[in-house]
Amino acid sequence: MAKKNRRRKKREYKREVGTRLPGKTFLIVCEGTKTEPNYFRGFEVLSASVEIRGTGRNTLSLVHYAEKILAEREEEFDEVWLVFDKDSFSDMSFNNAVFFCEAHFDKGFRVAYSNEAFELWYLLHYEMITKPVSRFDYNAMLSKRMKKYYKKNAPNMYGKLLTRQPMAIENAKKLYEGRSNSPAKDNPSTTVFQLVEELNKHLRD
């Protein structure tokens, strides 16, 4: 009788493992080596696997870098997010990188771009910005709104801004709704909110 019970328990255990769904896998490839990786590492993702790389590459060179990774590890990732800024790069280079990701959506490519720079995403946590802003003004604007000096590459910007994140998403979506057919011309604009919303689906409760 004891032997039968042991067999039943073993079958039940196997059934439980078989119904478990595999977690989603993300590769986040960032232009910056610290600012963006530090921010995305703040997400306490529980139900997905996230690999984050800060590369020092930009626009199309970032695309080529991601392609090389996928050529060797294609089966490992469900989505590959490229995070880069317009900065002073040419309109053609910036747009081509964005359009590449959009054209290869079915292969898992996604884009979280900012025009002009990633700090625009931080500013949108405080207010809606509709007029073109130079990236050279971002630090002073952030320092004023944070009421303390904004230090680029700060390690805990995610935590500092978390309570304001819904406002940033709402503001970024409004900017995105008014986008043109040339992302390079859309200053200010950012699609970082799309990656943030995706990661939020997998956070620890």
Q: How far apart are CA 50 and CA 86, in angstroms?
A: 25
The model scores a pTM over 0.85:
yes
C-alpha distances (whole Å) from 78 to each of 3, 104, 160, 197 are 43, 13, 29, 16
**Token pair for residue 146?**
């944070």
Q: C-alpha angle with apex 174: 181 to 172, nearest 5 degrees?
A: 90
Q: What pLDDT does 91 receive?
A: 97
Residue 2 has pLDDT above 50, yes or no: no
**Backbone Cα Rg of the chain:** 20
Residue 204 has pLDDT above 80, yes or no: no
Closest of 132, 69, 63 to residue 99, by C-alpha: 63
Give tens-digit pLDDT for 157-178: 999 999 999 999 999 999 999 9
Residue 176 burial (CB count, 10 A): 15
Q: How far is CA 25 from the centre of its chain?
A: 13
Residue 144 burial (CB count, 10 A): 11
Q: How far apart are CA 99 and CA 40, in angstroms?
A: 23
